[in-house]
Structure 1
Amino acid sequence: MNKIRWGILGYARIAKNEAIPAIEESESSMLYAVASRSEEKLEEARKLYTPCMLYSSYEDLIEDEDIDAVYIPLPNSMHKEWAIKAMEKGKHVLCEKPMALNEEEVKEMLEASEKYGVILMEAVMYRYTHRIAIVNEILRSGVLGDIRHVDSTFRFFLDRENTIKMKPELGGGALYDVGCYPLNFITMVMKEEPIKVSAFAKFENGVDVQVSGLLQYEDGRTASLHSGFNAFGKNCSEIIGTNGRLEVPDTFLDNDGVMKLYTKDGVEEITVPWCHRYTLEFNDFSEAIQEKRKPMYSLEDSLLMSRIMDRLLREIRK
């Protein structure tokens, strides 16, 4: 099959460092165009990646009939607008997480996907790693027994100046930026919406820089999430069941490593091989277009995530 021709709507750090290299590595994708409102960034893209087309406006890129799919790494506040505009032009859309600022915006994006007959997916790249595949295998095996608690953390120290992560008008904040990952992991394990949510946050300049939440599910099951960019980095999760406990270091990365499974029989170390999460994500999305199927990460999951995020945001903004 012909490779899917990608347009990059915004030459952001994640596009430059992760998405574009993944597209060039993918056997089912090709970099066709980059749009940026910065001439300096366009010149950098030209030198580093030699796309076929460069556009100084987002409108011109989505008007290009040769583009099959658009990747959106724009600030969170711009996701809905440009995803819908791209879908109106018949483009398939891979949109960076969070899909949008709230559940209503996500619903509008889903409706546009159905109306224009294109694929829309939230770019939750860690779901494609070997690490998460092994976690799901362990969950399906039943070796942990009944799941009673999940704990997940993703935080880092933000030391960049003038970053969109610290601008409330652009959808900045720790929960949107890194907190959505622990919440996503918890939702993957629990597979349903909690019956009760509580949360605490520390704010600086109108932006949450640290967020902790507690989720309560049916039958007394619980989950806790921690996120932030005001302290030293941490990236790990733990799943505790009636018969065992699984430690998942580097939960959201694609490096190699070791997970530990604790049961009555002792401790088993499980080797995790390296992979390129972004390449696997673009492979799946491009092949979904070619094969006229749904990609691995579902819109139903994105909708559930946005609904729980709304509840957490209401708690921390009280």
Structure 2
Amino acid sequence: MDEIKWGIIGCGDVTEVKSGQAFNKAPHSKLVAVMRRDAEKAADYARRHNVPKWYSDADELINDPEVNAIYVATPPDSHADYAIRAMQAGKPVYVEKPMALNAAECEAMNQASRETGIPLFVAYYRRALPYFLKVKELVDQQTIGEIRCVNVQLYWQPLPGETGENPQPGWRVFPEISGGGRFHDLASHQFDFLEYLLGPIKNASGISQNQAGLYKADDMVVATFAFESGAVGTGNWCFTVNPEQRMEQTQLVGSKGKITFSFFENFRLLVETESGPVDYSIPFPEHVQQPLIELIVSDLRGEGKSPSTGETGARSSRILDWITT
């Protein structure tokens, strides 16, 4: 492909800053069409972002001859359907995370990719962000020696709308739409990057339960997991703490030191070895998906390789299944 001409299925909040504008800022890339079932909202998005075409029907966008690649940015319950339809139409697909509701749907998507020969990518953009590439560089250089264990902690308060007399939680806590609760939404990023960092996780198990009763999905998850490298990990995710208890950090403990970093909360990266602490601050770019989108465009043009594919993206969903089922 000379120029990658993107169409977006599902132009909701995630596309406003994180991804949508990046398709026009990446070299050899252009956003030419968007689709949303609400025609008025689709037209509004196209107008605000100077997108030439908009649709309220996904098939019309998929079959638009000017669109030669598709970004699926809907909730996870429709990822598999839209992605498979797009690949069967010969259009490469970039799909939001989690990749699908479960590992079985992910496998169906990858099977479609293999059968059609059409590439499939997943929006695990931390694999391309400078902050996380610095963590990988430090680990690859064995700055803290061999990695012995990983500790993931995420304690967040309920989101607005999840409490009150008439709570109306967002789609992320409806398992039939998201695949689970907020754990599925956030831990999918964490496990994907941990595998990119340390290699495959060979097994994982956990306890997931609903403690606060704000919605049907789990709000508390505890997990253990083991890497093929020999490193082991533990994780605690709780989504019903007071704001004062909010905390999010991941620690990598090695034979010669420790790295503490954040997946979501800040840009600080602390390295502690016998030489003393070293503190890095590496902010995210304006459009956090742009570095990965640029690599995907390069891949589609035959000039490079994307670090995030359907095959790598499916692994994170498999780990989530291991822990919560």
Could you say which structure has the higher strand fraction? 1
**What is the CA-CA distance between 1:168 and the residue it aligns to?**
2.5
Aligned to 1:221: 231
Alignment of 1:203-222 (within 5 A): 204=213, 205-217=215-227, 221-222=231-232
Aligned to 1:309: 320
SS at match of 2:127: helix
Q: CA RMSD in A?
A: 2.3
Q: 2:192 touches 2:313 (CA, 8 Å); kept in 1?
A: no
Q: Which runs of 5+ in 2 are unaligned?
A: 162-167
28-37 or 9-18, larger mean C-alpha shift? 9-18
SS at match of 2:319: helix
Equivalent in 222, 247, 250 of residue 237 of structure 1: 250
Is 1:190 matched up with 2:191? no
Q: 1:201 touches 1:212 (CA, 8 Å); kept in 2?
A: no
Is 1:287 matched up with 2:295? no
Whole-angstrom distance in 2 between the partners of 1:130 and 1:265: 24
Alignment of 1:93-104 (within 5 A): 93-104=93-104
**What is the CA-CA distance between 1:109 and the residue it aligns to?**
0.8
Q: 1:10 touches 1:74 (CA, 8 Å); kept in 2?
A: yes
Equivalent in 172, 175, 184 of residue 168 of structure 1: 175
Alignment of 1:75-114 (within 5 A): 75-114=75-114
**What is the CA-CA distance between 1:292 and the residue it aligns to?**
6.3
Whole-angstrom distance in 2 between the partners of 1:177 and 1:65: 33
**What is the CA-CA distance between 1:166 and the residue it aligns to?**
2.6
**What is the CA-CA distance between 1:222 and the residue it aligns to?**
2.2
Q: In percent, how many aligned pairs have the same letter?
A: 25
**What is the CA-CA distance between 1:303 and the residue it aligns to?**
3.0
Q: 1:93 touches 1:121 (CA, 8 Å); kept in 2?
A: yes
Q: TM-score, normalised by structure 1?
A: 0.89
Whole-angstrom distance in 2 between the partners of 1:108 and 1:5: 25
2:217 alignment partner AA: V
Is 1:200 matched up with 2:205? no
How many residues align? The count is: 311
**What is the CA-CA distance between 1:93 and the residue it aligns to?**
0.5
Could you say which structure has the higher helix fraction? 1
**What is the CA-CA distance between 1:153 and the residue it aligns to?**
3.7
Whole-angstrom distance in 2 between the partners of 1:218 and 1:9: 37
Change over 3 Å in CA distance of 1:219–1:56 after alignment to 2: closer
Is 1:159 matched up with 2:157? no
Aligned to 2:185: 177
SS at match of 1:280: helix
Q: 2:84 touches 2:109 (CA, 8 Å); kept in 1?
A: yes
Whole-angstrom distance in 2 between the partners of 1:116 and 1:243: 47
SS at match of 1:20: coil
